[in-house]
Structures are given as C-alpha cells and as structure tokens.
Structure 1
Amino acid sequence: MSTMQAARCPTDELSLTNCAVVSEKDLQSGQHVTVKTTPNHKFVFTVKTHHTVAPGSIAFSLPQRKWAGLSIGQEVEVSNYNFDKSKQCIGAMTIEIDFLQKKSTDSSPYDSDKMAAEFIQQFNNQAFSVTQQLVFSFCDKLFGLMVKDIEAMDASILKGEPASGKKQQKIDIGLMVGNSQVIFEKAENSSLTLVGKAKTKEARQTIINPDWNFEKMGIGGLDKEFSDIFRRAFASRVFPPDIVEQMGCKHVKGILLFGPPGCGKTLMARQIGKMLNAREPKVVNGPEILNKYVGESEANIRKLFAEAEEEQKRLGANSGLHIIIFDELDAICKQRGTGASSTGVHDTVVNQLLSKIDGVEQLNNILVIGMTNRPDLIDDALMRPGRFEVKMEIGLPDEKGRVQILTIHTNKMRSFNLLALDVNIKELAAETKNYSGAELEGLVRAAQSTAMNRHIKATSTVEVDMERAEKLQVTRADFLGSLNNDIKPGRKLLIIGTTSRKDVLQEMEMLDAFSTTIHIPNISTGEQLVDALELLGSFTDKERASIAQQLKGKRVWIGIKKLLVLIEMSLQMDPDYRVSKFLSLLRDEGA
C-alpha cells in the first residue's frame, strides 16, 4: 500500500479510457488497484500509464472524481486488487445511458447491439463497480454512463461447458471479459432513442388502469359498442412500444360517438377516461372553444394539444396518453364553407383541429373523443381514417340493454333491501320500448319518489313518518305508476315496409308485426297517369296536354316503377317525338 496524490487526467483521450492514470515508475498498465479515499470508502480502478503523470500522483477523469468524491491534490491510499475470476467475471451488466451534454442531443436511433460490442472492445479487462460513472464515445457522440447492476458469469461458461441455467449471483465489483453481456437502459426523461436487442424493456405503465373492473363499469346495454371501441382504439396501445413499432402500427387517434340524446355518449366517454391509466382527460364543451377575438379560437385548440406535443418531443414512443374529450363537437366542426360568418372562424378552427390530430408533425400520444347527436353536420375531413377513425353509434338500448340499465340503477336499493320482491326487471324492460338510458334512470327516480311520498304525513307541516319510513320499499306498482304517468319515451319508432309479395310475409308470419297494411294499386285511368306525370315533372305542359288528349276516357294499368322506366326511355328522344314514343311504349307494354 502506498500513499498517492489525486490529480486531473492529463488528456481528453485518456479520460475516455475509464482508467486511473499513473506514472510508469509507480505501476504497470492493466493492473487493478483499490483507491481508499476515507477509512470506509474504497473504489476499484484499472490503471494506465502515461509519461506526463508525475511519480506519486494518480490522475482521474471528472466522472471518476465525481463518483469517488475526490478533489485535486487529495491524498489517497492505493493498493493492488486481485480479481477472483471464478466469481468476479461479469456475466451481464446493466448500464444507464444518456447524452453527456444536453445541448448535443438528437433524435437519431442508436443501435444498442453495436454499442455493446464497441463498449466491450473499449473496456475489455477493466474493473467495473455498481454506481460507477464513466464517459463512452460512440459514433462521434459522447454519452454519460452509470453502472446499475452486475451479475457474475456462470461458472460453467468459464470452464467451457454449456450454461447451467441457474440464476446468477449479483456482485458489486466485476471484471469485464470478452463474452460479457452489456445491456443499456435509457436514463429517465432522456430523449435518447435506443434500438436493437441489447437494451432493457423500458418500464412503462400499462394503459389499462389496474384497479379497473369491466363488470362494474356501469355502462348498461353498450357491451358490444364498448368491446368494438376497445378492439379498434386500445388493443394496439396495450402492447409494448417495441412490438407496435416493429409492426409499423399506428394508434387510433380519434373516436366519434354519435346518437340520440340520453343514450350514454357522455357516460361512455367518462368511463373510457376512468379505464385508461392516463392523465385526467381534458373535457371541453364545443362552444367554449369559440372566442370573439381574432385568432383566440385557434389558440384554444393549440393549448389543448400543447402538453402532448411537449411530452412526445421529450419521451418519444414512451410518452403517456393524453385524452381530449369534445362534447357537442358539431358546434365547432361544421362543414367548412357553410358558415354565415364573414370571419370564417368555424373554418379556421376545423383547419387547426385537422392539423393537430393528423398534420405534418404527427402526435402518437393523443386520443380525441368527440360526441355529437348531429354527425351529418361535421366536416368530412375530420371523419377520415387518421382523425375520427372509429365512429360508433350509441343508439337506443334493446331489451337486454334495458335489463342491464335498470339493474345498474336498482342495484343499491336491492343491496339494502329497499326493492320489493314483486319488482320484475325483465317485465319493466319489456314495457319500456324506445326508452333511452337517461329515461330509464328517470323512471327509477320517479318510482323512488312515489314510494317516498307514501311515507310523508299529510298534515299542516311536512313530516316523515319515521316508523313507516324504516319499512320503505319501492314496489312494482310504483314503477308501473311512473311508467304510465311520469316518464314517457322521447321518441317513437316507425318502420315502413314495401313489398309486392304480401303472401310471402304472411307465410313467414311477419305480417302481424305491422299494425297497418295499406294496398297501393296500379294507375288505372288516364287522368291518374297525367296527374302522376305532373307530380314527376317529366314532360312540359304542352306535352302533358297532348298525352291527356290521347288517353282521355281510356283505361290504363301500370305501376309507378314501370312508368318511371318508360318516361326515362321517352326523354332520350328528340323533343318532337317524345309524346309519340311514350304512347307507343305504353301500348307495347300492354298498359
């Protein structure tokens, strides 16, 4: 053991070797030494000799001094260190990597396999310790490294035998050898992009909230819609970024939920936000975007996407998901060119939204959910793939859906024994055709208020009969009373069917599904035919008068569809021959 004085590394080239530099009079190149800075702190280095270092001095690079807590001129105790090669050869070493200087960052991908090969070549037969810091030069770029973890090499490999397959021991100090494995791990918040196999699977949060329970999400009657949305919009986001990148897959960036009011569009968007392990969704009412000042409406759109843009530049593929929910989307995204305003604010808002969702600088960390009950008003460019790619109609629930919705809204009453045994949810679902989810919720509330009203004393003051209130139950009669008197469906369903084969519907037992059957006969008189021609606007007044003269008092027999075909054929003729051609075709068809 000898006492030496810490010095600054003489050249930049030597500082990249990760070696402590000494005089050739003190030690030999390739030796390993223990440097004792305090009684309780020891550090192992590999040494290299250089003629510029004075005898009795040991030179360290800045990262080495930083790691060991050394200052220039500090006296340290130096002694030889011998590795036990049966236990201290490095099998695998995990290294945290980042650009050495933040101003020299770039977005180019770096091949971790080539990096690992270069690292082993540069630092072969050198000592490494956990938490050690060093500088690494690769592709004319300097990287700051820190050793995070070291595993000892399998003893079987050292003997030239196949690997034993046993879990290897963790060690604090190891010797780099030719067949060591080096794994690079990107530093937190680093903009470095690593590709290849010699990198760790970066820790990332699962996109689905771990506490989420699909069975308790409270979306009744929308199971199919929700599963379709999950398949189209979230399946790709569940996979690690590496696999998605290898497939060349692009995430869905937009979902449009449309349908009549009260059918669960807002509920669906709210539950999607809860399901995803992402930031709190930004919920925006369409009209809030608009501003009376020039350019402010467009600026409001840009502000919504600013956080996502900044994070994607910083973290790339590992950026978290940003959810933006637009309620009443049709208020700001009407077809361009249809607005009456001279300023064209609506048009520029649409343009700004188009460029942000899928413009020149593509964002892959956003999900925009739009809701509207007027999809026909929305600009076509927003509806193409790459923007609002997934379009999902949230319609009126069917009977199975109504059972689910009523079950959800009566669950709490059932759990506290406040729902009478005579209440049949399936019966109520059958009686509530054309009811939306909101109207079914209103029905439950109306039944609850009817039941509660029974326990209020009808005196000069409003009092609750507490003795009877403890036995409060919502009964079947409460639901049926609310169904008949309080809550009516907001819309009726009208189905009109046409057929020329009524007998076929009769055989299929479908005719009973239609409450009214109206027979539409053929045109049977010349007057009816002329009236039809006038309604269709097919001939001029003079031509129709000529046709009426020819058909006066005569019987005809022709259907509207056949008449349209004959008119179309007649109109192909020269105007002077149209009437004669039409009458000729009528005769030929036996009409």
Structure 2
Amino acid sequence: MDPFSSRQPTKHLPSVPAAPQTFQVKVVRSPSETLALKNVLVVSSRDFHPSIRYAIVEDQFVFTIKAEESLPPRQIGASQAHRRWASLSVGQEVSIAPYDPSLESPNIYLGRLDLEVSFSRKTTEIKEHFDTEEMSKRFYEAFNNQIFSTNQQVVFDFHGINLQVVVKGLYVVDLAELQKGLIGTEHANYQGPRATTRGILMQQTTIHWLKASDSSIRLKGPSSKVTTAILQPDFKFEDMGIGGLDIEFSAIFRRAFASRIFPPSLVEKIGIQHVKGILLFGPPGTGKTLMARQIGKMLNAREPKIVSGPEILNKYVGQSEENVRKLFADAEKEYKEKGDDSDLHIIIFDEIDAICKQRGGRSDSTGVGDSVVNQLLSKMDGVEQLNNILIIGMTNRLDLIDEALLRPGRLEVHMEIGLPDEHGRLQILKIHTTKMKDHDLMDSDVDLDELASLTKNFSGAEITGLVKSASSFAFNRHVKVGTVAGVASDLDNMKINREDFLCALDEVHPAFGVNDEELQQCVQNQIIQFANNVERILSDGQLFIEQVRKSSRTPLVSVLLHGPPGSGKTALAATMAMSSEFPFIKLISPESMVGYAEVSKISMINKVFNDSYKSPLSVIVIDNIERILDWVPIGPRFSNSILQTLLVLLKKRPPKDRRLLILATTNEKSVLDDMNMSDCFNSDIYVPNITELSSVDIVLKELTLFNDEERNRALNALKQGGVELRIGIKKLLTIIEMSRQDVDKVEKFVGTILSMTPHKVETNSLYIPDKLDMPDTALYKFE
C-alpha cells in the first residue's frame, strides 16, 4: 500500500491574526536545551500570537517558531544549529516577520525528505548500527508539521545520542493528486513528488537517510531508505569552471559512482565490486587536470589526494615505491577498522604516463619504473583488496600506459576527454566571460553563439587564451597615447567588443586546426579558369569532400593526384583542402622533414594521423609522396619503414563518428605502382601539362603581360614556330615573369618557348599521354 493512501495531511494552516509589520529583533541563545532539541525558533509571546507557526528571518531563512512568555520582546532564541545554518551571531540585530508557506505554493507538504546524518561530535565512535525505520518514527514524533529548508541543520536526539542532521533534498506532493487518489506509481497520471526548496513534514512523508561521508555512523534498514551521499546535490560543472563535459561526467558517474550511493548490503547481494580506477585521456588542454582539481568540490568524501606522476619518483633506492604505499596508507587503515562502511578515498594521478610506462621498455638499468608499476598494481588489485579507493589517472598518451593497469579491477574505465563540440565551446565561453558580463565590461555586440561556431577544434585551454587575447586588445585601446604603461582617463568606458574577439581569432590558433600559412604558400594566387576541365577537376574534388562529410559508408576517402612535375598538383590539392572548410587540415611535406631521421619521420606522420582522429572532420595533404619515401631513381633506393607506415595509415579507418579525407600528390606514379601503394587510394586524378595555345592565351590575358597586339603577335609566332607545346604551369609562369623584366617582352617570351626542345618541355615521357586531346589541368599563378 502506498504510504500516502492511509492518512490525509492537515489541509489548512492554523488561523493567523493580522500579521504585524516586519520588525527588528535581537538574536540570543535558545532559553533551554529542551527547546533547542525541538528545532524551534523561540520568540516572545508579546511579539507573535501563539497560533502563528512559522516566521522568516532576513527574508531568507524560514523557521518553525514557538512563542514563550519567558522571552523578552524583540528577542529570538536560536539554537547553535539555527545560528550555524542562518549565519546568525548572538547579539546580532535581524529582521523577522510571520510566514505563510501556502502563499508561495498550494503544494507545501513533503512527499519525500532526504536527510544526511552524522554524529554531532565527530569523535563519537559507536559500532552498533542505527535502524533507519526507528529513526524515521522518532523524527516524525519530534518534528511533525515543522517546515524544513534545503541545507537546514537540525540536532536530533535519538536514544540519548545527539545526531547532526542536514536536509539534502525536499520533494512536495501534489494535494490535488492526493485528494483524487492518484498517488502511487500504479496510476498513469501520477507525476511523483516535485523538488522544492522548503516544505512541511507530515506522517506520510518518506524519509531517506544518507550517511555523511566523513562520519563513522552505521545505518541499517530497507535498501531504498539508506544511501551514501557521494555527490553534492546541487553541484554543476559550470559553477566549478568546467564546461562541455556533461556527457563524459554522466558516463563517469554511472560507471564509477553509481554503485557507491547504494547500501553495501545491496551491492553485496548483486555480487559486484566497485570500480577502482578511471583513466582520463585526450589531447592537451581539454580539461582533464581541471576536472581533477575540482573533483573534491563535487564529492561528499575525504579530500582527494592529488599527485603529479613525476612527484612519485625519488633518487633513493626504494623511496619511489614507498611513496606509492603512503598514498594508500589511510585507506588501508580505515578499511581494516570499518570494512565496507569506510569512506571513499580518492587518489588522483596527473601525468600518470610518467610512472606507468610499459614494463620492460625502458633503456635504464635501475628498474625503478617497472617496480613502481608493480607496486601500484599490487595496491589496486593485490592479495589484500581494498574496496574503498578510487584511482583517477590522467594522461595525453594512452599508448604509453602499461597494459596491466588498463584491465578490469584497476583503471578499467577509460574515458576520452576530447575536443569540445559547439555546445561545449559555448559553455566554456560563458564560463570565461561571466565576470566581464556581470560587471558590464562586455559589449552587447559580442555573440557567444557566433564565437562558438568560429572556434572549431579549440580546446578549453585555447578558448581561455582566446578570451585573454581579446581582453588585451581592449586594454591596448585604453593605454595613454605616447606612453607604454600609462592608463588613459576613459578607463571607465572600457568594454570588450566583437572586433576584439575577431582579432583574437587571428592570433590564437588551435593545435588541432588548420595551418592557413602552409596552405596559402601552396596556392598564393587565385585559380585561372582557362579551360572547361578546370571546373570538372575542382567539381570532382568537391564531390570527394561531400562524400566524406555526408556518407555513412565511407568515413575514409583517399585520392592520389599524379602528373609531371610543375603541373599544379600541390596547388590543386591545397585548394581542395581549403575549400572543404574542415576544422582539421594538415600538410605533410618533404620540406617539413628536412634533416629528420627515418624514425622521426615515421613518428611525425603517425602523430598527424592520430591528431586527425580527434576531429570529427579532417583533411590530410601528403605532398610529393615519393620524396617522403626517400626514393631516388639511382639505385633505386627508398625507405621501406616509411612505406609500410603509409601503407597501413592510408587504409586505417578512423574511429567511430570521425571522417578523414587524404589527398596525396606524386610525380612518379609508376614507382608507386611498383610499391603497391597506388592500390591504397580510392581514386586518382591525372594532372597533365598545358598543351593548347588557347590555354596560354587565357593565362597571358589574366596576368596582363602584353597588350592585345603584343599577345596576338606572340601567339602567332609560337604557332608558326611549330613547337609541340607541353609545358607545366610553373614553367610557363616562370617564363612570363622573366619576360616581364625584359625590354622586348614579346621577343623574350617567344624566344624562350621556341628554344625549348620537345624533350626539354616533356621532362618525363612517362607522363605524356598518348592522345593529345587529354584534358588539361587547372592553371594556377606562379608561387
């Protein structure tokens, strides 16, 4: 039977005479210990009529009151618990007025009350268990029809033992549902108790008892009424300066904390062990360490022990292992004394990869690193198991962690703290601009939604840097002219506006973003539409981009652009990459690897691919792939290790919900065919040289080398010369710019072209098509 079905609560408050105006009273101690234990605020009967049940102090704290003739007028007697909760001091003058809870809401009676209980004296040690059913009965008898508020403190006398009770949750019941008989989960229209900030206790209220995390009290009773308060009920990540991690924290709570809020007896019946370890990994600056610093604020547990990985190491033999044992000493001692009733001990390792690298993989002869890993493994899941510990490790390099640490029973929950999405970036921006907005220092033209969309692939730390950079522009506007450190007189008018943030975006670039300078160097000028095939090639490139963006069947698309040297392959690939507007675009080129050893090249290539997997949409441009392979025709010679690395990475599918477009260029496709690398690409595009005089004519018009008469004369001379035109765009642009410096530009231009024999123009006969009607490539201005 539902507890609400048998009795009906009092439907009306006692009649109250005309309430006096709010007046000032002096705070004194409660007249007697008996009255203090009744949780009533003692008032003078000459100030309040005995029929008035409730009063509000300082327009914020509501008390159940009791009028006493012995108390002088204009005084209130508050117990120590009352004074602590309402921040009152003896002798303080405060305002007080009668309070009618029904004026705020018709639903004022509590359906459920969550109470956190501990001993009033922290040193009290009682090994017997307290029956929560009996506690609830005594609580009803002592405080029925009293009003309670969130976080209110009450001293509760239970069998001669003073217990400290803190209100953690209040839920009112709808009287209309109660009168209609809709109370109970079997009724489809029953909405359940609603959370509130204050309400009145009645006999039908269900009381849930929560053991305070720092108390030695032991509770027993029905599983539904005995829980452990692990989390603060009102905490928010935003209030602690953490944004964009709601989903991650929900998963952490479900896997690591959910089982700990239930009674140990229930967990034992299920036959499971609590999660002992969480490993947070992800790119730098995404909030892993910040979460560690703030985690103590969200837990009703002992203060977490936060230690950086390198701090464990010590120069003395055996001291590093001793440092690990010291971290677990308190948890071991309490677990031996209290067993499953002991508090949760949290140990947080920042940069855990510094001490937990793969065993056997170190080059030193001391073996300290391996022994530290062994010591940590034995403490987490050794012969003497501890069920009151939670280890939280953080690292940027999951691949370096010893595999034994990652199995269930140790750091079994692996949570990736990735780059925030647009909603997460908006949360982070709100956190870092809250103060400037509250103090009216942010202009109204700043649109945080716009900034969130512009900061693709920004980490939390980079967004913090963006706000700092924007602030620096605002500061700079108010530096006194002609000085370096002088402040202008109009400082009161300083505001950070939209333009400051846009300027900051030019300064602060995401580590996992787009390097515009590298790509712009590949394409310094616009594309010249000299033939129909230009639009076709770029259109095909756009189709590949849309395929990666939208297709669920092909998260990985790779394209090889091949052709003779100087035909514009790199510029074409860079143009495709920039037109995609993907948040992550990286260029791998031989220029960035000059002087690198083979191992360093492999490491760099692998890092670029791993970084791309952290972004939802990515483009990787691999330029001049045969040069990266160290291929030379004399010998021939190439790096097999780099070849094998690329063969694997070109076919490796990105993780779930990640998409990757690979654009590669080469002058030696036949070599890639021999290496079986061509088969790794989904598609290839041939980029030939220029073979038509009409294309040369369009380029000359675009670059304005000649006037119309000179251009016609130059084209006629080339036609009469009978040169078989096959020239790369880079070579043509070089000739044009060289001719521009000569006095007779036409003679220099025509003479240079005619002096080039067909052999010189072709450069590499492997790439000359059999048919002269092979479509020309797109034409680009000279870099």
- With the shorter chain as reference, the TM-score category is 0.5 to 0.7
Residue 338 (structure 1) aligned to one of 361, 365, 387? 361
Q: What is the 5 A alignment of 1:260-275?
A: 260-275=283-298
Of all paired residues, the percent bearing the same amino acid is 56
Read off the aligned partner of 1:469 and give its amino acid letter. Answer: L
The verdict on how the C-alpha distance between 1:200 and 1:418 changes in structure 2, with shifts beyond 3 A counting, is closer
Structure-2 change in CA distance of 1:507 and 1:290 (3 Å): closer
Aligned-pair CA distance for 1:294:
1.1
Q: 1:364 and 2:401 equivalent?
A: no
Give how far 1:304 is off: 0.3
Counterparts of residues 564-579 of structure 1 (less than 5 Å):
none
Equivalent in the alignment of 1:377: 400
User: Hey, what does 1:510 align to over in structure 2?
Assistant: 547
Q: Which amino acid aligns with 2:292?
A: A
Q: Deviations over 1:89-108 (max 9, x none)?
A: xxxxxxx9xxxxx9xxxx9x
Cα distance change of structure 1 residues 241 and 493 upon mapping to structure 2, 3 Å threshold: farther
Q: CA RMSD in A?
A: 4.5
Q: How many residues align?
A: 357
Equivalent in the alignment of 2:491: 469
SS at match of 2:442: coil
2:525 is aligned with 1:491: no
* Offset at residue 240 of structure 1 (A): 2.1
- What is the distance in 1 between the residues matched to 2:463 and 2:280? 20
SS state at 1:456 partner: coil
Q: Distance in 2 between matches of 1:472 and 1:254?
A: 48
CA gap 1:511/1:333 in 2 versus in 1, 3 angstroms: closer
In structure 1, give the amino acid aligned to 2:493.
K
Q: Name the amino acid aligned to 1:398.
A: D
Alignment of 1:215-364 (within 5 A): 216-364=239-387
| Structure 1 residue 490 displacement after superposition | 2.0
Partner of 2:503: 481
SS in 1 for 2:411: coil
- Match of 2:512, as an amino acid? R
SS at match of 2:493: coil
Amino acid corresponding to residue 420 of structure 2 in structure 1: P
Aligned to 2:159: 148
Contact 1:399–1:429 under 8 Å retained in 2: yes
Q: In the aligned structure 1, how far is the partner of 2:260 from the partner of 2:450? A: 41
Classify the secondary structure of the residue corresponding to 2:480: strand
User: Matched residue of 2:394: which SS?
Assistant: strand
Q: Unaligned stretches of 5+ in structure 2? A: 1-118, 120-124, 132-157, 162-201, 204-214, 516-538, 564-632, 645-669, 681-783
CA contact (8 A) 1:207 1:277 kept: yes
Q: 1:533 to 1:308 in 2, by over 3 A?
A: closer
What amino acid sits opposite 2:349 in the alignment? F
Are 1:328 and 1:371, in contact at CA under 8 Å, matched by a contact in 2?
A: yes
Contact conserved, 2:307 with 2:349, CA < 8 A, in 1? yes
> In the alignment, residue 427 of structure 1 is paired with which amino acid?
E
Give the match for residue 425 of structure 1: 448
Which residue does 2:766 correspond to in 1? none
How big is each residue's C-alpha offset from its partner over 1:241-264, in whole Å with a ceiling of 9 and x where there is no partner?
222222222111111111111111
Q: Distance in 2 between matches of 1:215 and 1:509?
A: 36
Inter-partner Cα distance in structure 2 for 1:367 and 1:290 = 21
1:368 and 1:211 map into 2 onto residues whose CA distance is 24
Tell me the equivalent position of 1:121.
none
Assess, with a 3 A threshold, how the Cα gap between structure 1 residues 235 and 344 changes in structure 2: closer, same or farther. Answer: same
Alpha-carbon distance, 1:189 to partner = 5.3
Q: Is the CA contact (8 Å cut-off) linking 2:227 and 2:262 kept in structure 1?
A: no
Distance 2:677 2:484 in 1: 72
| SS at 2:274 equivalent | coil
Matches within 5 A, 1:152-191: none
Q: Distance in 1 between matches of 2:419 and 2:259?
A: 29
Alpha-carbon distance in structure 2 between the residues aligned to 1:345 and 1:460: 57
Query: Offset at 1:535?
Result: 6.5
**d(CA) in 1 for partners of 2:432 and 2:639?**
57
CA distance in 1, matches of 2:544, 2:430: 38
Provide Cα deviations, 1:12-44, integer angstroms capped at 9, x if missing partner. xxxxxxxxxxxxxxxxxxxxxxxxxxxxxxxxx
Cα distance in 2 for residues equivalent to 1:112 and 1:419? 55
The Cα of 1:446 is off from its aligned counterpart by 1.1
- 2:390 and 2:473 map into 1 onto residues whose CA distance is 43
Residues 364 and 457 of structure 1, relative CA distance in 2, 3 Å threshold = same
**Greater shift in the superposed pair: 366-375 or 211-220:** 211-220
